Amino acid sequence: MSTPVRRHNEELVRLGVRVRAARTAREYSREELAGASGLSVRFLAEVEAGRGNISVLRLLELAAALGTTGPNLLGAADVVKRPFLVLCGLRGAGKSSLGAAVAADLHVPFTEQDRLVEERAGMELREVFSLQGEEWYRIQARAALLELIQREEKPRIIATAGGVVLDAELWGQLRERTHTVWLTARPDDHWRRVVAQGDQRPMRGRPEARIELERLLQRRTPLYSQAAEKLDTSKLGETRSRAALRTMAQRAFATALSVPAVRE
- By DSSP bridging, strand 179-184 and strand 84-88 are parallel
144-196 residue pLDDT tens:
888 888 788 889 999 999 999 988 878 888 998 899 999 999 988 878 887 77
Closest Cα to residue 68, out of 167, 146, 144? 167
CATH number of 79-263, picked from 1.10.730.10, 3.40.50.300, 1.10.760.10, 3.90.1150.10: 3.40.50.300
Phi, psi of 258, rounded to the nearest 5 degrees: -85, -25
Q: Is 28 exposed, middle or buried, given 0-12, 13-18 or 19+ CB atoms closer than 10 A?
A: middle
Q: Are 25 and 2 in contact (CB under 8 A)?
A: no
> Is residue 264 predicted with pLDDT exceeding 80?
no
Q: Where in the chain is the domain with CATH 3.40.50.300?
A: 79-263
Phi, psi of 209, rounded to the nearest 5 degrees: -60, -35
84-140 residue pLDDT tens:
999 999 988 899 999 999 999 999 999 999 898 888 888 887 787 778 777 888 888
61-73 residue pLDDT tens:
898 888 777 777 7
The 10 Å CB-count burial string (b at 16+, else e) for 151-184 is eeeebbbbbbbbbbbebbbbbbbbbbbbbbbbbb
Question: Quick one: CATH architecture of 4-76?
Answer: Orthogonal Bundle (1.10)
Q: Where in the chain is the domain with CATH 1.10.260.40?
A: 4-76
First to last CA, the chain: 24
Q: Are 147 and 141 in contact (CB under 8 A)?
A: no
Beta carbons within 10 angstroms of residue 88's beta carbon: 28
- Distinct helix (H) and strand (E) counts, the chain: 13, 7
| pLDDT at residue 59, rounded to an integer | 87
DSSP letter at 165? G
- Mean pLDDT for the stretch of residues 218-244: 93
Q: Give the dihedral of Cα atoms 173, 175, 180, 186; nearest 10 deg.
A: 100
